[in-house]
Structures are given as C-alpha cells and as structure tokens.
Amino acid sequence: MATLKQLEKEARQLESTNCKLENVLHQAEKDHERLVEELKSKENSVSVTNRKIEQLGDEESELK
C-alpha cells in the first residue's frame, strides 16, 4: 500500500506534469491563432491577385 509520502510525491509529479501540459497547450493555442491570421492574410493576398488578374483580362479583351 502506498505511503503518504509516496502519494505526496506522486501528487507533486502530477502537478508538475499538468503545469507543463498547460504551458504546451497555451503555446499551441498561440501558434494556432498566429497560423490562422497568417492564413487569412494569404487568402486576402490571393483574392487581391485574382481580382487584378480578372481586371487585366478585362482590359485585354477591351483592347482586342
């Protein structure tokens, strides 16, 4: 049967592990938010580029 000291040691180890996991989760959430913002920015760039391509196509058609 586990002694009180063993249980206390295990509890401290679990608290330490939980703290480390919370830190990893927090960093993962920050990374996720950053990646979502990067993706939105890239999607916007693609949208702007596509509009420019359409405008150039329209201008080309008008010149013909």
Alpha carbons 11 and 31: distance in angstroms, whole number: 30
Q: Give the residue-averaged pLDDT of 45-59.
A: 96
| pLDDT on residue 62 | 86
CA–CA separation, 31 and 25 (whole Å):
10
Segment 2-24 shows an average pLDDT of: 96
Cα gap 26→34, rounded to integer Å? 12
- Mean residue pLDDT of the chain comes to 96
Which is more confident, 64 or 7?
7
**Residue 44: pLDDT band with limits 50, 70, 90:** very high
pLDDT band at 43 (very low <50, low <70, confident <90, very high): very high
